[in-house]
Structure 1
Amino acid sequence: MPFCLNLRTSIVIATLFASSLLPAVAQQPSANLPAKQQQPKLQPREEKPPALVDPAGPTVSLQTSEALFDVAVALNACGYDNGLAESDPVRARIRDQVNQAMQQSEASRDARDKLCVYISQHRLGDASRDLAQYVSLALYLTPPPELALSVDQDDMPPDSTQVIDMLPLLHAFVDATQLHLIWIANHTAYEDEVAKLHDPLTRMIVTTNVYLKMPASTYSGSRFLVVLEPLLSPAETNARVYGPDYVVVASPVNGAIHMQEARHTYLHYEIEPLLYSRASAMDRLLPILKAVRDAPLDFQYRSDVVSLVIECLIRAIEARTMDTDVAEYKIPDDVRRNDLERETQKHNASLQQIAAVRQKAVNQSMVAGFVLTQYFYDQLIAFERTPDSLKEAIGPMVYGMDIDQQTHRARDIHFAEEGDSDVIRHATRTPHGLDLAEIKLHQGDAAGAEKLAQQALAEHTPDPGRADYILALTSVMQGRMDDAEKSFNETLRLSKDPRILAWSHIYLGRIHDIREERDEALVEYKTALTVRDGQPDTKAAAEKGIKQPFEPPHSARQDQDDNSDDDNTSSAKPQTQQQTTPQTQKQANTPHP
């Protein structure tokens, strides 16, 4: 016989689920609001990647781009001379070839002049930002001859939308100058640069993963790309995060780039998923943000504790693994007993010099506002002595942090007047689709979230499990437990996300407990543990469900009794989880108990 819930019981369950078990939404605070008053902004999970990203290709790649070449030629033809003297000789050779082509074609010169007027009118005061907007555009262009946007304009990085109108002018210039022929003539030189950089880049990746004790390419759907373009300044490395895709655009000189900046981006690629998966448990770190209000940090780090933690950890890793230019003195194997003390002193002195160089780098990060660098530096010393990978160690590092101690340490720092910006930028976009559905869910708009989730399913979203999960939560919020159960079961059938799967089993277990179906509830809780999403909140919730049946909290019951005679009683709106994470990082929903 079908099980039915009366209205009052539905309200109790809906209140409980809505207020305590909604997915944790990643947010980016607005510059005009205090941290506790921000409206949530979900990190995009359905973004289309840059044109260079091949979903079926390798997760780590080194490549070139003819579309980027065309944009770089246009910039060079219009006065972009940054780093010319330090560039690889191929840059000067290509510029000469382009000039010769324009001398032979009036149409090419006319097209160049119109393009240069546009570029001049859209020039930004900051040279790096000026270049970055064109790099962002180029990465989302299909190869010539189309040179068309590979995604809808709404999905483009915001800085690129400022110069999208140059595309017709770029087309005319590329066609009139016959740039494709120049590209073909120099493609071998480009491939030579790729070949020269292949081994150094591989060594960087291998040594980094050896230190982290993690295999490369751990995260499904995430890509790390290094794109070479010798026509840009060697001093200007563009590193961006486009959703799950980490892209470094660099100008090689004889097969060499600024590898430290590439490695910094690679560390973001490896570490961000580890910490964003724990974003829901990092609210306890928020007091740190008050201590860095006067630090010379970018707004992102002063407003988003997860971003601050990530950057501090990466800087600590870089300090622990940096080349100090100090050689460790090795005690000779055949040292005589009488000389052992002297040789040991030399060895210890070299270690102290190395430690001093590393500590100086940590101190520089601390006064720049990255106030947890020292904490993570100390934690990494212990980490290096264990067999645990960073993936296994990161939880205890974060959860074991003494927040009061670190806050006091930060308050005692005399910050520098000027800081240093991160080489990497996160491209933010306007949330839509399932991203917007989750935002509405956290704002209490169950009907709006439900409509968007149903629309996503009707349009054959590539993540139907996530859409059904959102539908299940909206049903819970509206007291429709039978619908919620169906949607959770559909989520289990379609989703591959361990976080969503684990919490769907926990939800189902709690529904069975409310129905007094204890045997069925235990099966769901135990199954949630077998999913192994690796998060302590999931494990704790499942183990608690096994230990004792789920019951609505006393406050919810009291609210039910108080409103029992009110015909207009409705389910409570969810409490928005206050978290702050950049929009461009790919993560699954993270329900919080």
Structure 2
Amino acid sequence: MLCSCSSKLVIPAAVFLLAGPLTFSANAQASSSNQPAPRQSSSSQSLQEKAPSLVDPAGPTISLVSSEQVFVMAAALNACGYDEGLEDSSPIRKRVRDEINDALAKSEDARAKRDKVCLYIAQHRLTGTEHDISQYISLALYLSPPPALETTVELTEMPPDSTQVVEIAPLLRDFVAAVDLHGIWLAVHHSYDVETDRLHDPLSKMIVSTNLYLKMPATTYEGRRFVVVIEPLLSPKMVNARVYGTDYVIVVSPVNGSIPMNAVRHTYLHYVIEPLLYSRSNAIERMQPILKEVHDTPLEFRYRSETVALVVECLIKAIEARTMDTGIPEYKIPAGVERSDLPRYEHERQFTAQKMEAVRVAAVHHDMTQGFVLTQYFFEQLIQFERDAVSLRDTIGEMVYGMDIEQQIHRARQTEFDKQADGDVLQRSKPRVLSGLDLAESKLAQGDFATANAMAHAALNDRSDTLDSVAQEARANFILARVAIVTGHPDVAITDFQKTISTSKDPRLLAWSHIYLGRILDLDCHRDQAVSEYQAALASRDGQQDTRLAAERGVKAAYAVKGHSCEDDADDSGPAPPTKPGPAPAANSQKPQ
């Protein structure tokens, strides 16, 4: 039971700055997150998801496959009105939908089984985004093949989003049998094989070219898997990238032998690079001051709160800029030209190279203005890397340890950041207009606490009878709790965090609520209770690296801020010194020069 903190406690805004607002986005597990997560430490190994059923521990390190489990789940979604990207999809999708409709037209029982599946999906529509679809794909990866369609591991070993819809499995099993989806799968499986064959060479070319640039062989990571799953029944715009322990799985929909290869390569770069940087997380922690410089950028929350996540993404973006297709053909000096003409041709070659480099530099500048403020540093380091024979594995330490942090902070302060973030290739493909609690989150991030507070209260007062009313209440209380933190009302914050925990089923909301409570308890010198909160955050298992690392740090050491110490409190019976440095700066405030 969480005790009330003493009235003398003043919570510093740093508590808010370190955790920040949550980002609710499509494909949140891809690490959202939607982005890939690191290999988990031994201290949290028991909380790590086991590999999905399609990952063969004895199989190849990198594979391109299809999955009947993903097929039947995607087919059920299509039968229940999932039409996104239909016009742009492979003909296989229309063929399967037609065969399912024929089976439904012939059987009242099949229609009844379909209706039960569709009712379940309708009752679990949470966001109106691709996240609603991705949770079913997450579950499908952990199902055994038909006709059983049973979970292949214990629920506690599965990703949180998949367990939220696991009750669809028996309904799906009945629907599959009623329309003979296994028979349809056998009829179309050859078409899947054709798509796989068409994608084999382009995917292999991408893997080989990436490894050649990094100077790292594909066998570098024994025991880890990178699996590309094709499913034509999904929208071609949807890229579902996920990390399960040490295994990276990305689900894509091919059309005419093409998939979003840039998104697949982006995920592959995470697969290759994350182990290199997360093994140096202690060294990267010294870059913590950079997070203050990106607080007002449009970056997603994890990049504004975790140094390793920011460093990983900046390095990947630098690699993508160095290796991008600039759209400018490489100039080659014709064979057999006269020696007297060589200067003219050489000048043309250099001019073309300068134009190509200008495109790359412009891409880096764009990434910098988005908030990925270390991209230029890594871009410059990679120029030297390309000249040397050493691999990225051998030189990454020098890149990290040799970084001049103050120089990068100064560079960040000279950058004028964009107001809106680009759509993440691993998340939604179209920007959305913020409203409701999403807008309240944005106002909170911008420092407009009064507006965020008013909008959250308005959401609480809207008691419309909707399926997500409880989720809305929990999220509104979570916003109110963070407003209370930065406005100096810790008791109110505690109450609102407890309300969030008692009403929310969202693992991410639960995890951050427990982390906040743990920090409040640490500042009020209730260490044992604080540890319990951090452990509860770990038990929430939201699958995101920011919460896991924050909770693990809380378990290992008490949260503290400069000027406030529990030892000082024990020696001094007077009031504690103020520890609140003031509210977070607004997004439009002047950056210090």
**Structure 1 length-normalised TM:** 0.65
Distance 1:444 1:76, change over 3 A: same
Residue 313 of structure 1 contacts residue 372 of structure 1 at CA under 8 Å; is this kept in 2?
A: yes
Q: Secondary structure at the residue paired with 1:206?
A: helix
1:440-455 superposed matches below 5 A: none
Aligned counterparts of 1:87 and 1:43: Cα–Cα separation in 2: 41
The one of 56, 74, 77 aligned to 2:76: 74
Q: CA deviation at 1:414?
A: 1.3
Could you tell me whether the CA contact under 8 Å between 1:50 and 1:140 is conserved in 2? yes
CA contact (8 A) 1:324 1:357 kept: yes
TM-superposed deviation, 1:154:
1.8
Aligned to 2:346: 344
Shift of 1:281: 1.4
Distance in 1, Cα, partners of 2:298 & 2:65? 35
2:154 pairs, out of 129, 148, 152, with: 152
- The answer to whether the 8 Å contact 1:372/1:406 transfers is yes
Question: Structure 2 stretches of 5 or more lacking a match?
Answer: 1-13, 21-39, 428-505, 512-525, 536-555, 557-593
- For residue 384 of structure 1, report the CA deviation from its aligned partner: 0.3
1 CA distance for matches of 2:44 and 2:298? 26
Q: Is the 8 A contact 2:53 2:143 kept in 1?
A: yes
Amino acid corresponding to residue 115 of structure 1 in structure 2: V
Q: Is the alpha carbon distance of 1:148 and 1:223 closer, same or farther for their aligned partners in structure 2, counting shifts above 3 Å?
A: same
Q: How has the CA–CA distance of structure 1 residues 139 and 418 changed in structure 2, closer, same or farther, with 3 Å as cutoff?
A: same
1:35 corresponds to 2:12: no
Mark the CA change 1:227 to 1:103 in structure 2 (over 3 Å): closer, same or farther: same
Q: Equivalent residue for 1:226?
A: 228
**Counterpart for residue 210 of structure 1:** 212
Which structure 1 segments of 5+ residues have no match?
Answer: 1-30, 432-442, 453-473, 475-593
Aligned mates of 2:59, 2:351 — CA distance in 1: 48
Answering whether residue 172 of structure 2 is matched by residue 170 of structure 1, we say yes
Question: In the comparison of the two structures, how many residue pairs are matched?
Answer: 410
1:465-504 to 2 correspondences below 5 Å: none
Distance 1:224 1:444, change over 3 A: farther
Over the residues paired in the alignment, what is the CA RMSD in angstroms?
3.0
Task: State the secondary structure of the residue aligned to 1:381.
Answer: helix
| Equivalent AA in structure 2 for residue 35 of structure 1 | L
> Secondary structure in 2 aligned to 1:125?
coil
Q: Does 2:385 correspond to 1:383?
A: yes
Equivalent in the alignment of 2:89: 87
Q: Does the C-alpha gap of structure 1 residues 289 and 43 become closer, same or farther in structure 2, counting only changes over 3 Å?
A: farther
Letter in 1 for 2:189: H
8 Å CA contact 1:316–1:374 kept in 2: the answer is yes
CA shift digits 1:359-389 (9 cap, x unpaired): 1211111111111111101100100000000
**1:208 counterpart letter in structure 2:** T
Distance 1:428 1:201 in 2: 35
Q: Deviations over 1:529-568 (max 9, x none)?
A: xxxxxxxxxxxxxxxxxxxxxxxxxxxxxxxxxxxxxxxx
Q: Is the 1:67–1:138 contact (alpha carbons within 8 Å) kept by the matching residues of 2?
A: yes
Which of the residues 95, 99, 102 maps onto 1:100?
Answer: 102
Task: Find the aligned partners of 1:32 and 1:124 in 2 and give their Cα distance.
Answer: 29
Matches within 5 A, 1:170-569: 170-424=172-426
SS in 2 for 1:127: coil
Identical aligned pairs, as a percentage?
A: 57
* Larger RCO, structures 1/2 (Cα 8 Å, 6+ apart): 1
Scaled by the length of structure 2, what TM-score is found? 0.65
Partner of 2:491: none
Q: Quick check: 1:213–1:390 contact (8 Å CA) kept in 2?
A: yes
Q: Distance in 2 between matches of 1:293 and 1:69?
A: 41
- Conserved in 2, the CA contact under 8 Å of 1:60 and 1:217? no
CA offsets 1:200-219 (integer angstroms, 9 cap, x no match): 11111111100000011322
What residue identity is the alignment partner of 2:255? V
Q: Per-residue deviation at 1:199?
A: 1.1
Aligned 8 A contact 1:298 1:421 in 2: no
Q: Distance in 2 between matches of 1:44 and 1:369?
A: 32
Flag the structure with larger Rg. Answer: 1
Separation in 2 of the partners of 1:111 and 1:264?
40
Structure 1 residue identity aligned to 2:388:
T
Q: 1:201 to 1:444 in 2, by over 3 A?
A: farther
CA distance change for structure 1 residues 32 and 55 in 2, over 3 Å: closer, same or farther? Answer: farther
| Correspondence for 1:24 | none
Q: Relative to 1, partners in 2 of residues 1:444 and 1:423: Cα closer, same or farther, differing over 3 Å?
A: farther
Match of 1:54 in 2: 56
Q: CA deviation at 1:185?
A: 0.7
The residue identity in structure 2 corresponding to 1:315 is K
Equivalence for 2:474: none
The alignment partner of 1:96 has SS state of: helix
